[in-house]
């Protein structure tokens, strides 16, 4: 099972891993080393190997499987990005599961105890942008966190940060301008310690995120998630073909509008606070 370019992409496409295992049995999964522990815990029959990357003569990054094929004797392969074409062909059907990865139990228990001390439930995890370098064009895809929380029903919940990368200034700006507290965890590296992040997420009641690795991981561990963009593959409205627990706020035929995404996100949060679940559409109604 060959990897894809981003850690979020791997988690998204490998949501079809249980389907592959049911058909062909044990496989070897190439993945970012940060995912190896959670995959081995979730699927003991799976062998994981780190990404087979190296630099060529021009110092470009390439994938070289020569040594691993020699070591393991592989005779067939598939890219994980091809799995949805094999196992999610009926786009009118609901996604088959709400999560497929297991957080480490003791880590989850630690985070649950820690979260209970922060404030009342529901406890909502919030990611508002990618952690990568954001240029002017990329910034158009992400809502400003102050704009997001200006009309957010924050008085009825506890907010924690799932923002990876540097975010202290934005969190302070939210506190100064809105009087809203987003709890952050300086002792957690949300870029490198992804297995610990999964433990944190497992204790949350809801996650809100654009299409980032945080969104995909929350979906993968089974947390109800509001996606501030379109569904994966842009082929569903009010539901997602890969994750039954993901509610995308943008429709497939709409241009991305962060103002509209904010309004619909806040509407979905209010629905969740009132009912305890997300406003999913019924299968076949997208």
Q: What is the pLDDT of residues 91-135, one digit of tens each?
A: 778 888 889 999 999 999 999 999 999 999 999 999 999 876 554
At residue 134, the pLDDT reads 54
Query: Given pLDDT bands bounded at 50, 70 and 90, which one contains residue 5?
Result: confident
Which long-range contacts link 44-47 to residues 24+ away (Cβ below 8 Å)? 45/21, 46/17, 46/21, 47/72
Domain ranges of the chain: 7-87, 105-275
CATH fold group of domain 105-275: Rossmann fold (3.40.50)
Q: Is the pTM of this model over 0.75?
A: yes
Check whether 250 has a pLDDT greater than 90: yes
Angle between helices 105-116 and 194-202 in degrees, nearest 10? 60
The mean of the pLDDT values for the chain is 91
Neighbours of 89 (CB within 10 A): 9
**pLDDT at position 17 over 90:** yes
What's the DSSP call for residue 207?
E
Give the end-to-end CA distance of the chain in Å, rounded to a whole number.
31
What is the biggest distance separating any 2 CA atoms in the chain, rounded to whole angstroms? 59
From residue 190, how far is each of 44, 117, 233 by CA, in Å? 25, 20, 26
> What letter would DSSP give residue 192?
T
pLDDT at 139: 60
Q: How many Cα neighbours within 13 Å face the side chain of 259? A: 0
Conformational region of residue 48, where left means phi above 0, alpha means psi within -120 to 50, and beta covers everything else: beta
Task: Reply yes or no on whether the pLDDT at 84 is more than 70.
Answer: yes
51-55 long-range contacts, Cβ below 8 Å, gap at least 24? 51/3
In eight-state DSSP terms, residue 99 is -
pLDDT grade for 20, boundaries at 50, 70 and 90: very high
Are the C-beta atoms of residues 87 and 20 closer than 8 Å to each other?
yes
CA distance 48 to 32: 9
The confidence score (pLDDT) of residue 41 equals 97
């Amino acid at each position: 099972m060959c990897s894809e370019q981003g850690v979020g992409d791997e988690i998204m496409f490998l949501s079809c891993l249980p389907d592959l295992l049911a058909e062909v049995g044990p496989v070897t999964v190439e993945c970012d080393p940060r995912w190896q522990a959670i995959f081995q815990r979730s699927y003991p029959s799976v062998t994981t190997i780190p990404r087979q990357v190296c630099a060529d003569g021009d110092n470009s990054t390439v994938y070289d499987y020569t040594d691993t094929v020699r070591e393991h004797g592989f005779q067939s392969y598939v890219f994980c990005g091809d799995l949805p074409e094999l196992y999610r062909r009926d786009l009118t059907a609901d996604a088959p599961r709400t999560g497929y990865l297991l957080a480490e139990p003791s880590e989850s228990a630690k985070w649950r105890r820690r979260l209970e001390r922060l404030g009342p439930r529901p406890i909502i995890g919030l990611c508002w942008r990618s952690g990568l370098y954001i240029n002017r064009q990329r910034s158009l895809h992400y809502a400003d966190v102050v704009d997001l929380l200006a009309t957010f029903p924050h008085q009825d919940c506890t907010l924690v940060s799932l923002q990876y990368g540097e975010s202290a200034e934005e969190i302070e700006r939210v506190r100064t301008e809105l009087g809203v507290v987003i709890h952050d965890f300086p002792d957690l590296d949300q870029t490198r310690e992804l297995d610990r992040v999964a433990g944190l997420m497992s204790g949350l009641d809801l996650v809100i995120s654009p299409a980032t690795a945080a969104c995909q991981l929350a979906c993968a561990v089974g947390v109800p998630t509001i996606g501030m963009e379109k569904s994966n593959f842009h082929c569903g409205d009010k539901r997602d073909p890969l994750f039954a627990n993901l509610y995308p706020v943008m429709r497939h035929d709409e241009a991305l509008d962060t103002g509209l995404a904010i309004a619909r996100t806040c509407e979905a949060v209010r629905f969740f606070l009132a009912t305890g679940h997300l406003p999913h559409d019924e299968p076949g109604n997208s």
